[in-house]
Amino acid sequence: MFTTERFFKKIWSVWLLVVILALMMTGVAPPFMAVPAILIIIVMTLWCINCAYRSEHFVIFANLRMFFNMSVAPMFASLLTLGVTYKKMKLGAATSLMLALAPVVLVLLTYAMAYYWHSKSDILHFKGQRVESIEPPQKVQWWQAGLAAGLSSVIYPLMKSHDVPATGLIYFFALMSVFMVFYNRDKISALRDLKVREAKENRQYTFMDIETIQSMRAASWLGRLFAVRAR
C-alpha cells in the first residue's frame, strides 16, 4: 500500500474518488452541505498537490494511502445513509446527518483499537534517512475466507428483511469498514512506529527511491509549476 509504483496514479485516484463522492453528496444531502463538500474538495486538492509535487516526506504519502484504504467504505456507507434517510425516508436534516456519521464513527473507533496493535511484520525497511515499504504477497488464510463468507451471509438477510437494497449496501459497507481496518492493522502499526521514530530522532524520512520521484516531477509540467512556486 505504501509502495511508490504508479506514484501519481495512486495519489490522483484518491483525489478523484473523494471529489466524486463530495459532488454526489450535494445531490442527496441537505442544501447547506454544499459548503462542506466544497471545503472537502479544496482540502483534498491541496493535500494531493503537496503529496504529488512538493513534499518528499514519506509519511505524507503513507497517510494519504492509509486514508484511501480506511475511508472508501465508510464514505460510501455515509453517502447511502444520507440518500436513504433524507431523500427516501424524508427525515430531518439533523437526524439524517447524525445517522450518516455513524459509519465514520464506527471506523474511527475501530481504528483507535487497531492503532495500538503491535505488529511483528517488518513492512518498512530503513537505510539512512530513507525508508521503503516491503509488502510480501499476502496469502488468504482459512479464517479470512470464513470471515468473508460470514459477512456475505449476514448481508443478504439484512437486505431481504428491510426490502431496501440501499439499506443492505449500507450494512455491507459498514462491515467492510471494520474489516479494512482489521486487514490493514500491520500497516497502521508500521506507520505509527515510523511517526514515533521521527519524533524521537527529530527528523523526517524520505522515499528510498526519491530520485525517481524527483525525475517524474521534473518531467511533469505540473511538477515544474509547483516546484517553482514552492521556492
Structural domain contains residue 2? no
Structural domain contains residue 25? yes
Structural domain contains residue 160? yes
In the block, cell 456507507 appears at: 77
Q: Is the pLDDT of residue 53 over 70?
A: yes
pLDDT score for 162: 52
Between CA 185 and CA 115 the distance in angstroms is 7
Q: What is the mean pLDDT of the chain?
A: 83
Structural domain contains residue 91? yes
Structural domain contains residue 1? no
Q: State whether residue 55 is helix, strand or coil.
A: coil
Total-model pTM: 0.80
Structural domain contains residue 170? yes
**Which long-range contacts link 199-202 to residues 24+ away (Cβ below 8 Å)?**
none
Structural domain contains residue 138? yes
Structural domain contains residue 166? yes
Total domains in the fold of the chain: 1
- All three cell numbers of 69, joined, read 484504504
What Rg value do the Cα atoms of the chain yield, rounded? 20
Q: What is the mean pLDDT of residues 42-66?
A: 94
Containing domain of residue 210, as a range?
7-230
